[in-house]
């Protein structure tokens, strides 16, 4: 009996903590025709969206494990699900929420930055990163690049630019690889779906405005691979725990 009471108390405290940490905002759900308002709620367990009126059928609740890719920018949240689109063969359903209130992206980034795996794409700079070194750089693009700064911290790489939609924050363990063709070149390869969530990896190539010492690059490459190994062990342990639950 005592065990049951303790279990109920534990479940209640967990629920209370989740509700206390919930972030809620009025946003707009992007439709093929028009954008409808609704309420978006983010908790440690997942994301829910409630659209009133005729759009009620668009209301959804997702656990993080049911999200194929989650992309956050200062003004937009995109959720790529595992739902099939019957009228578009081979393409999974995407939900896009726009017109985020000022500051909301920073709030939910705080919820997601360390909890989620490489399926989380941060299209914004982590301003809390403890910078070990930085270098001014240009991000090359197919038609137009952007000017900014690469900041390297203990566990993540940040590219900060004033160009909308081009800033990024990557945890080292979520980066597939880095490469360099010389002292003024650096590439970051991720598993981010390119374009409109097309499958495959994506390469971000930078022209550096200052030379990158070989020793500094080698240290970053070493730390990246150590982070990937640690992330693999952590994920494997978590999966095994869930299997035994």
Residue 81 has pLDDT above 80, yes or no: yes
Give 14's pLDDT tier (boundaries 50, 70, 90).
very low
Please choose, from the candidates 74, 106, 85, 86, the residue with its C-alpha nearest in 3D space to the C-alpha of residue 197: 85
**Weakest mean pLDDT among 67-81, 129-143, 186-200:** 186-200
Question: pLDDT by residue (tens digit) across 144-178?
Answer: 899 999 999 999 999 999 999 999 999 999 999 99
Q: What is the DSSP letter of 14?
A: H
pLDDT mean over 32-44: 90
Task: Give the separation between CA 86 and CA 96, rounded to whole angstroms.
Answer: 18
pTM tops 0.75: yes
Residues of the chain above pLDDT 90, percent: 66
Domains of the chain: 2-122 (2.30.29.30), 131-236 (2.30.29.30)
pLDDT tens for each residue of 103-152: 999 999 999 998 899 999 999 999 999 999 999 999 999 888 999 999 99
Distances (CA, A) of 207 to 151, 157, 204: 14, 16, 10
Helix (H, G, I), strand (E, B) or coil at 17: helix
> Could you tell me the two tokens for 109?
């980034």
- Tens-digit pLDDT profile for residues 47-61: 999 999 877 888 999
Integer Cα distance of 2 and 30 in angstroms: 50
Give the mean pLDDT of 37-52.
95
The answer to whether the Cα torsion of 143, 174, 177, 150 is positive or negative is positive
Report the mean per-residue pLDDT for the chain: 86
What's the angle, vertex CA 120, arms to CA 116 and CA 123, rounded to 5? 135
Burial 205-223 (b: 16+ CB within 10 A, else e): bbebeeebeeeeeeebeeb
């Amino acid at each position: 009996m005592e065990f049951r009471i303790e279990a109920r108390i534990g479940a209640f405290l967990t629920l209370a903590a989740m509700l206390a940490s919930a972030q809620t905002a009025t946003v707009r759900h992007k439709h093929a025709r028009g954008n409808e308002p609704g309420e978006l709620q983010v908790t440690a367990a997942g994301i829910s969206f409630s659209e009133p009126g005729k759009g009620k059928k668009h209301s959804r609740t997702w656990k993080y494990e049911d999200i194929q890719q989650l992309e956050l920018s200062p003004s937009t949240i995109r959720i790529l699900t595992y739902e099939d689109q019957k009228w578009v063969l081979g393409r999974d359903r995407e939900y896009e929420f726009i017109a985020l209130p000022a500051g909301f992206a920073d709030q939910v980034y705080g919820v997601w930055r360390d909890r989620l795996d490489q399926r989380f794409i941060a299209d914004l700079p982590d301003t809390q990163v403890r910078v070990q070194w930085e270098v001014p750089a240009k991000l090359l693009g197919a038609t137009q690049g952007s000017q900014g700064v690469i900041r390297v911290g203990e566990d993540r790489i940040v590219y900060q630019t004033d160009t909308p939609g081009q800033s990024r924050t990557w945890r080292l363990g979520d980066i597939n690889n880095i490469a360099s063709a010389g002292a003024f070149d650096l590439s970051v390869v991720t598993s981010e779906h390119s374009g409109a969530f097309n499958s495959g990896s994506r390469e971000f190539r930078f022209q550096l405005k200052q030379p990158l010492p070989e020793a500094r690059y080698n240290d970053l490459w070493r730390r990246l691979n150590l982070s990937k190994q640690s992330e693999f062990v952590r994920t494997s342990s978590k999966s095994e725990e869930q299997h035994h639950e």
